[in-house]
Each structure stands twice: as structure tokens, then as C-alpha cells.
Amino acid sequence: MAFEPAQQHQAAAPLHGPLFEGLLAEFAASAMSAGIAALGAPNRALIFAAAARACGPFDSGPGRSHPVSVNALAASLSRPFETIRRQANMLIDAGLLVRSETGLSVPLQVICDPRIALMADGCHDLLVRLVEDVRAANLMLPEPRPGAAYDPRAGIGIAFDLLLATIECHHHRRENWTRLALIFAIEWANRRFAHAAGPYLAPVKPSTVARILGLPYATVSRNIEGLVAAGKLRRVPEGLVIAPDLITASAASDARMALANRARQLLGRLGQVGFPVDQPARAYIGTRPPLPALG
């Protein structure tokens, strides 16, 4: 869904509809890929993001230092306690979380850890790309806050919030996270391949999905089989498509609307922390992230 930079004008369209939904799907698939590249699996990436948002350190101010319990993380992520505990232990062993008597916390120094920098900077720049493409598509964005100095740490936190919102709002939020990542990637690729033919009509090959997410082909193939058996994906001669009834179901429509509403709130917060909404390309930590090759 990439666009050339353009100047937004007063006749900007409301920030909702299929185009905005497609850009959010693009962010979700790309952010999951960034998390997988950094931490090796979507579950560890999402648990770290949730812990970081619960207790810092990605805030524009001094940050929160409030520990978060495993129970609270499990409730917020709709996952069993034991699943979260086991994955959190892996993050503790990797030095990315710290356990105390009051719960889990994210030490400030992890900002400099190369693994977290890869995920955090990547998600931040994907959020910048989203804003840049929203602006280029002439969709309505919040006004920039005059005089506010933008701290990329705040943008990283909002990018994590948007990633977590894609899980929270998705109508299959209790799905295995690897399978949910596959759904995000396939939905986005279906949209990208479809072009003018309309959304969700263009199939994508499993090898392309593996490349989008950076997951082993065997893992992708095994989980695709489960999604096909559950009726959430369909095989066609050219590849895979999201099951059409899941797209048109009322639960799916409600989920897309909930995510769009949450995304508008987060973009509004981004404007409030000084993000240069009128010149988003100035905010990249690195450079504009490229889209995965689909061919």
C-alpha cells in the first residue's frame, strides 16, 4: 500500500474505510515480521511489547517503573498463565525482562540491546511509514502539536500499542500467535496482489508468506494446514486466500472497525507528543522500511 509523499490538503477524507484498513494490515504484518526478526518468535515479541507498555521504558517522560504481574499480562493478551510464564522466563533468561517480588519489569538498559533496538526502531519506522502513506493518500490526520519536541521513545511506545491493538481487536485474537501472524500476512498479501481487482481476491504462495514474516517454511506450512483445516484459509490453484466468509462475517467487520477506531486514537496521541505530522519522513530513526517482495 505504498504511496509517494504528497501534501495533505483541507479536503482530506475521513480516516476509515478499506484503504486505511489495508494500511493497518500492512503495518500489522510488517511489525510482526520485525518482532520475529528481533526475538525469534511472535509470542516473545508480543509478550515483550506488552510488558514494555505496562511498565516502561518507552515513554517520552522519565518512564514508568511499575512492575507487571504474569497474571496481568496473561489477561491483557488473552493467553493462559502458564504460556505467558514460560515465554516470560525465556525473556528473563535473555536479559530482556527482570523478575522481582512485585512482578516483571523491563530494565531501562534494554533500549540499547541490539535485539530490542531492532524491534523497537523497526516498529517505530513502520509507524512513520503508516503516517506517511496515510498522508499521501489524503486521509485525515491529527494536527501537529506546536512547540512540542518529538521523542522517538514515545513513538516506539505508540507503535507497540498499535501492534498490540491489532491482536486485541482481531476477531481471532485467541488464535495461536504464529497462526495469527500468518493470517495478518496473508490478508495483507491478498490485498496487495489484488490491486484494482478488489481486496482478498489475489492468492499468495506459502513460500511468500514465509518470506514476509521471516519464519521457516516448515513452520509456515504446518500452521497453514491447521488454518485450512479450521476453515480460516482456502487453497486455490494459485495459492492461499483468507476464507471469504471470515471477511464478511459481522465479527470481522466489528474487529476492523474497532481497530480503525483504536488506530485513530493512537495517531491522535502521536500528534500530541510532537510527531511531525505535516512532515512525517523527518521522524524516521533509520530510513523508510521497504515492503516485502511478493513476486
> Mean pLDDT of all residues in the chain?
88
Q: Check if the beta carbon of residue 51 is closer than 8 Å to that of residue 160.
A: no
- φ, ψ for residue 39 (rounded to 5)? -120, 0
Q: Is 104 helix (H, G, I), strand (E, B) or coil?
A: strand
Average pLDDT over residues 94-113: 90
**pLDDT of residue 16 exceeding 80:** yes
**Measured torsion, CA atoms of residues 188, 189, 194, 195, in degrees rounded to the nearest 10:** 70
Task: Report whether the peptide linkage leading into residue 203 is cis, meaning its omega lies within 30 degrees of zero.
Answer: no
- φ, ψ for residue 196 (rounded to 5)? -75, -10
Quick one: three-class SS letters along 219-266?
A: HHHHHHHHHHHCCCEEEECCEEEECHHHHHCHHHHHHHHHHHHHHHHH
Choose the weakest-confidence range: 15-29, 209-223, 270-284.
15-29
- Say if strands 103-105 and 233-236 run parallel, antiparallel, or are unpaired: unpaired
pLDDT tens figures, 45-87: 999 999 999 887 787 555 556 789 999 999 999 899 999 999 9
Q: What's the pTM?
A: 0.90
**Structural domains of the chain ordered from first start:** 15-171+250-277 (no CATH), 176-248 (1.10.10.10)
